[in-house]
Amino acid sequence: MDAVCEGKDYSFPAQEVLVLELWKKLDAFHEQLRRTEGGEEFIFYDGPPFATGLPHYGHLLAGTIKDVVTRHQSMRGRHVARRFGWDCHGLPVEFEIDKALGISNRQQILDLGIDKYNETCRSIVTKYVAEWEAVVTRSGRWIDFDNDYKTMDISFMESIWWVFAQLWEKDLVYKGFKVMPYSTGCKTPLSNFEAAMDYRTVPDPAVMVSFPIVGDPDNAALVAWTTTPWTLPSNLALCVNANFMYAKVKDKSSGVAYVVAESRLSQLPVKAKASAKKQPSSKGSNTVAVPDGLDKESYDLMAKIPGSSLVGLKYTPLFDFFMEFQDTAFRVIADNYVTDDSGTGVVHCAPAFGEDDHRVCLAAGIIEASRLVVAVDDDGCFTEKVSEFKGRHVKEADKDIISAVKASCYSSFQWFVKVEKIKDQLLECNKETYWVPDYVKEKRFHNWLEGARDWAISRSRFWGTPLPLWISQDGEEIVVMDSIEKLEKLSGVKVTDLHRHYVDDITIPSSRGPECGVLKRVEDVFDCWFESGSMPYAYIHYPFENHELFEKNFPGNFVAEGLDQTRGWFYTLMVLSTALFGKPAFKNLICNGLVLAEDGKKMSKSKKNYPAPTEVLDEYGADALRLYLINSPVVRAESLRFKRSGVFGVVKDVFLPWYNAYRFLVQNAKRLEVEGLAAFSPIDETALLKSSNVLDHWINSATESLVSFVHQEMDAYRLYTVQHLTHLWIFVPDV
């Protein structure tokens, strides 16, 4: 070790490797757990990542934050179990398998067999586990990989069934027909994150877009036409002409209802007829335009509505970038600039990108002149406000915006959780939590909760936790399974796994008698976000095990993830805990920002615009990387442009001065020992307090102040102040 530690060629990365070897030899992490066992519990929830790729700087950042907090709590004598988790189900896994097997449609999966498909999915879930463990361990984080949890474990899945059953008992579940994000490629509704994935583009930027009317008894949607798709993310209103007559029609093939100007009914797409001559379509689809009036073979006329009666109706926005305007925006307004010589008689309004748009939105109180938010910078690129397309030129993003809109307008029957019913409770539970930084909680998350809509938790897919619903053929009898024991008791079948290919064929006799047949399980599986949101219960197999541990320590003490999780994991944690217990799932939360490439763009493997984490760890060491990340705006939920030179700066400006000071001290100590002079001896704290040396008293006072400060700031989860001021105290004592 001396060869590594001494001399001007000292290597911080090499020393870290020696420390890791020592920790492994001593089993230091587990020894710490053993020594604190029986002490006060500090409950930490680790959000599960997908193991379908390698860890990136965002993972290392969040892991560092978690490690700093949990180590500190453990050093103060608290027992902090730190179990690593894996998100095993959902589209990311299925997407990998579909690519590997060349699967492009649902029927191919059925032909292959759900059993073979699911087992193939299972086989790749742990594909990168070894690499993850190696990188996370090299980063210096103490986390339990040996006692990890996986969302595909039967114990985890059983707890999810219990969570769903509790929601069912509380009348918080229903089956509904609703417009929602949908993947045409995967043939399934999508979660918010899944909907952001780019599945398909269309060639022409002229599009018709439907906006679902809130509360409409027919689930109708207003249809607008635009040749500027790039303005759709900034939509705040729809404008009609109060003097026009509008028609509500129903598509005979899909059952979906639309509202357009009566004089523009011919613009609605219709199915091509064999005898009809095909005309060019702005949507690039297999449709033809009917010259005059409504195509009665495609649509039924439901009602005629004066334009004035549409004014004031609320609609569901396409995107959620401007939810701070939701109290006044996303409603129908009227103005005579809407004509019937083009489009649909419904105009989409983005007040930052058009004189008429701005004028009518200002007049209608949609916006105030002082509150106008421009989502495009001087270079014509989307700003951070439009996070999904940030940094991209508006015209270059046209196709992806069309794809996102296309994915957001599909109606289907799904199972929903009644989030809107508990919205007031959600807002109250949010008040009980402490966030760093607080503005994320009070603005971004609060606004998201205020605009929360019922949550579609079912997915028409294969690799996931099956919905525990057994239904009779006539739909009159429904049994909800809350445990494996209940399923075995009612079916008489031994259950060893809960995935689809194990439970789909299990039937339940009807309680109404054999003449009523049997109950069969619905085919859907859970949205994987329902699974991760159930993590506080499922990772310890509650309520089947660890009942006392959970009851005494819920809500959990601490969670930490990135800003994007305000609409993901933080949200699903809050929804399920509020619905189940009327409490938030966590007490304290640190929300970090995004780590971007040096040019400010998203890190991309294909573009190779960032250095691999392993390269930086090997060159500069984990401590330098950790300190660089913690001492940056990213800990305050702001973005960080990652610079390799920044990590080197930590080595040059912090670690080398520290090492040289230490080396000077050690060299002089050895010289004194060689010369037979006084060597170092343990400090007598009593003698130090009695010392007449003013510097001794200053050192003692400053040390106690530092300890007090660190405890105070760590209790407030302000890691950036702890790191910064501790560093100043060590190297610049006179501050």
Q: Is residue 672 part of a domain?
A: no
Cα distances (Å, whole numbers) of residue 451 to 189, 219, 371, 411: 20, 19, 19, 20
Neighbours of 323 (CB within 10 A): 16
The SS3 call for residue 379 is coil
- List the beta bridge partners of residue 220: none
Measured CA to CA in angstroms, residue 668 lies from 4, 659, 685, 695 at distances of 19, 14, 23, 20
489 catalytic per annotation: no
DSSP string, 414-476: EEEE-TGGGHHHHHHHHHT-EEESHHIIIIIIHHHHHT---EE-EES-SSSPBP-EEE-TTS-
Distance CA 591, CA 437 (A): 7
565 is a catalytic site residue:
yes
Q: Is 2 annotated in the active site?
A: no
Question: What is the bridge-based pairing of β-strands 508-509 and 518-521?
Answer: antiparallel
Other C-beta atoms lying within 10 Å of the C-beta of residue 115: 14
- Tokens for 451, please give them: 């605009």
- The CATH number of the domain holding residue 587 is 3.40.50.620
Tell me the average confidence (pLDDT) per consecutive run of 10 residues in the chain, 735 residues long.
54 94 95 94 92 86 95 94 93 87 86 95 88 93 94 97 98 73 54 45 61 85 87 91 92 83 83 38 33 72 92 89 84 91 88 84 80 71 82 81 67 80 96 96 92 88 96 91 97 97 96 92 93 96 96 96 90 97 97 91 80 94 93 90 94 90 82 63 68 84 88 90 54 36
Q: Catalytic residue at 326?
A: no
As a whole number of Å, the CA-based R_g of the chain is 30
My answer on whether 691 and 635 are in the same domain is: no
pLDDT computed for residue 683 by the predictor: 61
Q: Residues in the chain, how many? A: 735
Report yes or no on 126 lying in a domain.
yes
Which of 225, 230, 455, 529 is catalytic? The answer is 529
Catalytic site includes residue 48: yes
Choosing from 73, 166, 267, 565, the catalytic residue is 565
Does 476 fall in a domain?
no
Q: What is the pLDDT of residue 317?
A: 87
> Which two tokens mark 57?
């700087």
C-alpha separations of 618 from 15, 135, 613, 693 in Å: 11, 11, 9, 45
Decide: 590 and 719 in contact? Cβ < 8 Å.
yes
Q: Is residue 310 part of a domain?
A: yes
Nearest alpha-carbon partner for 640 in 562, 555, 551, 541: 562
Q: Are residues 211 and 318 in the same domain?
A: yes
Tell me what pLDDT residue 724 has: 55
Determine contact, residues 228/327, Cβ cutoff 8 Å. Answer: no
639 shares a domain with 703: no
In 3D space, the residue among 20, 3, 4 whose CA is nearest the CA of residue 12 turns out to be: 4
- Residues 602 and 729 grouped into a single domain: no
Q: In a 3-state reduction of DSSP, which class is residue 597?
A: coil
Residue 401 burial by CB count (10 A; 0-12/13-18/19+): exposed, middle or buried? buried
Residue 636 sits in the same domain as residue 687: no
Paired tokens of 330: 């996303």
Looking at the structure, tell me whether residues 223 and 369 fall in a common domain: yes
Catalytic residue chosen out of the listed positions 448, 569, 584, 723:
569
Same domain, 109 and 33: yes
Which of 168, 155, 38 shows the shortest CA–CA distance to 469?
168
> Is residue 74 domain-resident?
yes
Q: What is the largest CA-CA distance in the chain?
A: 109
Other beta carbons within 10 Å of 701: 10
pLDDT score at 186:
55
Q: Return the exposure string of 65-86: e unless at least 16 CB atoms fall within 10 Å of the residue's CB, then b.
A: bbbbbbbbbbeeebbbbbbbbb
The CATH number that applies at residue 216 is 3.90.740.10
Which range marks the domain in which residue 66 is found? 2-146+530-644
Q: Among the three residues 347, 380, 413, which one is the final residue of a domain in this structure?
A: 380
Considering the candidates 24, 170, 395, 605, report the single residue annotated as catalytic: 605
What is the 3-class SS of 647-688, one letter each residue?
HHHHHHHHHHHHHHHHHHHHHHHHHHHHCCCCCCCCCCHHHH
| Burial class of residue 610, CB neighbours in 10 A (0-12, 13-18, 19+) | buried
Among 395, 396, 393, CA closest to 381: 393
DSSP state of 210: E
Q: Quick one: pLDDT at residue 55?
A: 87
Residue 271 backbone phi and psi in degrees, to 5: -70, 140
- Give per-residue burial for 145-175: e unless 16+ CB within 10 Å, then b: eeebbbbbbbbbbbbbbbbbbbbbeeebbee
Pairwise CA distance, residues 630 & 713, whole Å: 14
d(CA 719, CA 46): 18
DSSP 49-86: PBSSS---HHHHHHHHHHHHHHHHHHHTT-B---EEEE
CA-nearest of 480, 456, 531 to 153 is 531
Examine residue 263 and state whether it is found in any structural domain, yes or no: yes
242 and 130 share a domain?
Answer: no
Paired tokens of 94: 């299925």
Domain end call among 343, 360, 380: 380
* Residue tagged active-site, from 421, 602, 643, 729: 602
In a domain, 456, yes or no: no
Q: Are residues 90 and 235 in the same domain?
A: no
Give CA angle at 679 (678, 681), nearest 5°. Answer: 115
| Residues 701 and 630 placed together within one structural domain of the fold | no
β-bridge mates for residue 333, sequence order? 239
DSSP code of 608? T
Predicted pLDDT of residue 678: 56
Strands 144-150 and 83-86: parallel
79 - beta bridge partners? 41
Structural domains of the chain, count: 3
- Residue 314 has phi, psi (to 5 degrees) of -95, 150
Number of helical (H) and strand (E) elements in the chain, helices listed first: 29, 28
> Is 398 noted as a catalytic residue in this protein?
no
Answer yes or no: do 690 and 639 share one domain.
Answer: no
Cα gap 699→91, rounded to integer Å: 58
C-alpha pair distances (Å), 731 with each of 84, 234, 661, 706: 36, 49, 10, 13
Whether residues 24 and 142 fall in one domain: yes
The pLDDT assigned to 700 comes to: 84
Last residue of a domain, one of 326, 347, 380: 380
Which CB contacts under 8 angstroms, 24+ apart, belong to 391-395? 391/600, 391/601, 391/602, 394/230, 395/230
Integer angstrom CA distances of residue 642 from 49, 75, 138, 635: 21, 31, 19, 13
In a domain, 518, yes or no: no
| Residue 378: per-residue pLDDT | 64
- Cβ atoms of 137 and 55 closer than 8 Å: no
415 is catalytic: no
